[in-house]
Structure 1
């Protein structure tokens, strides 16, 4: 029978992989995002954030991010998993308006990452796209069809109507929630994965935190019922709060993770999971799947990058 040997949670924001001098460029990109209410928030709270915006502090936090990613890398390689089950969100990379599943599982044998043209990207993303996507030759990501299919079958029995995906529409790359895992957490080593999709962004069919925790519990039962003698690591990719950084929200989620308290995680206020902060749902799924393990390591960095309070609650965790 398959055994879950490790759990990982990791922010995958470009800010995680950005040198300090690039953080202000991300803030320039935030100004273009109408959801940040940038100018209004800068006037309202900018005076409270000046000590968070120094280049020296940004450099320190960048170094701490690198150290945390390196720690996760070592933990994954030490656990020697045969397979990864990666819980992430698709941001109109594989799925466009023809279908955006609430929950989905890829059950094909391979996904591809197609080269990105640097000139098509915002200047803030060009220095860090290496952490997400190829800019040269197409890269293949092996996936495990047998486990993917088994998970779908078991989740249906569990009462979750999970979308299946077997093929990749030409020109659409595997999402950065999954490529980040290989490119940064695995140092480009190739371990077959099963991508699990959670609709963190797109109304009206985002799941509730409660549904996500219960989905994670069912996901663990599905993996452990698989008849193959395989070592499996579960990875929650994304989060925590961004692009408007909300430390209180992040602290609530972290409390639920550390205390293994499902009631906290099931009742994270849904209205707080706006925009990219919805990626917290990936962590809640992972926490449900890993409730038999303990949080052994957790690093949190409040990555403020503008007087409007934009940034990322950069978070890295290990369950063992």
Structure 2
């Protein structure tokens, strides 16, 4: 646990959990918020480890821990499709830490960034966030402008090039939702649907052969994608877009950005646009 050199952000790291935290407000409120974040952080990983067997199962019993319960609740909304609570672990950790950090505090805004899955608190002003087209190159293809009235509490990204295994071939799927856990679960599900199931251009291996303790077991996950034709790119994107529109219609997400091989689809609310393509935002 340490403050970063900029003096504004707190860095919290424990095993696979690596958080960048920032609170904006009166100095005394910020200081207390950071103390609360540090006090909440130490027990997260040990508590999660105790419940890993049930969190790696799509049909396990309801867990007990505060982060684990968030994971279960977020992914349960996508049943009976295959998903385990682990699909929402990063977002759930971010949500929990944000809740503890802002409890009783008066802050204009705050966020907890857990490797790109971000829990957000916005009382006034605007959050401007770049949306990644490709996690490998870091190319930003879109812009998110969030205001308090948008009701967005979380943003998360998934894809086969990211930190976790994916059943699909999306370079990146970014989702906005009411919580980071919900965004995390939805991004995973949408990314799985961006796919060309029978294509010889897609290389796959069993998840358990890559990670013996993977919650995906013997399911085939993407390990490589050869150059695709425009028709193949469009077909794969359509699968993800269809899933995103279903989730948008039943309020599981607020918006989604799907990127594959330089092409993108933006699925947004009808009454206002939250995500814009980078070219349009900079015009």
Common fold by TM > 0.5? no
If asked which structure has higher relative contact order (CA below 8 Å, sep 6+), I would say 1
TM-score in terms of structure 1 length: 0.26
Structure showing the higher strand proportion among its residues: 2
